[in-house]
Amino acid sequence: MENNLTIGQIVRLIADHSPSGPIIAEIPMTDGQIRYRMFHSPTDVREYLADQIELVDITPTGDRLVDALQREEWLPASQFPARLTAARLADPQVDHVYSLYAGRIQHIPFQFKPLLRFLRADQPRLFIADEVGVGKTIEAGLILKELQSRQRVDNVLVLCPKALVIKWWEEMRRFDEDFRLNRIGNFAAISQVTISPKEGLS
């Protein structure tokens, strides 16, 4: 089923328009349908199927804003943090790291420099060429988790020498990423051939 809903958008129930809130997570597909986790309040977070919810138009047009002010339609204080979070998720800031605690790592300041440079780039591309032992795999993992927190990431391909396969596999486990190790002799079948972590690439 095709859907255009993304994390951060404000949605509401189709059957009852009163409950609304931002999407805070996308749950893997079940029986062909995607489930979304919606924030209603700090103590009320629920999950809905894609066909149960619809997008709420919150475009701040001039007339709507003026009309709302004239009618004194204020947003309840209890909903303001959720709306603010939704706005930030819809338009991620470049000076905020959303995935700061997404990995089981020591937080070493210089390892975040490549990530911050990546976020501030007009065309995000990055070549990390630090010295051996500085933590290039950790820096790559930080960038991966930050991308996942800002947008949908369907595929990630890591190419490395055979001697570093296990190292990369183990380091990505720190970020709860269980990469599948593949033989690369035949790229046409790379998505179908799975091997043991101990076997490595050939």
Residue from 125, 128, 92, 90 nearest 112 by CA: 128
> What percentage of the chain reaches a pLDDT higher than 90?
2
What average pLDDT does this structure show over 114-133?
A: 81
What is the pLDDT, as a whole number, of residue 153? 84
Q: Which of the 8 DSSP states describes residue 90? A: H
127, 143 in Cβ contact below 8 A?
no
What average pLDDT does this structure show over 18-41?
A: 80
> Which neighbouring-strand residues pair with 55?
11
Residue from 8, 50, 14 nearest 29 by CA: 50
Domain regions of the chain by residue span? 10-90, 93-154, 155-202
79, 87 in Cβ contact below 8 A?
no
Give residue-wise pLDDT tens across range 167-185. 889 999 999 888 888 765 5
What is the pLDDT, as a whole number, of residue 184? 59
Is pTM beyond 0.75 here?
no
- Among 64-73, 74-83, 138-147, 189-198, the least confident range: 189-198
Structure-derived torsion over alpha carbons of residues 73, 78, 79, 85, reported in degrees to the nearest 10: 140
What is the pLDDT, as a whole number, of residue 1? 45
Phi-psi region of 19 (alpha: psi -120 to 50; beta: other; left: phi over 0): beta
Radius of gyration, alpha carbons of the chain: 21
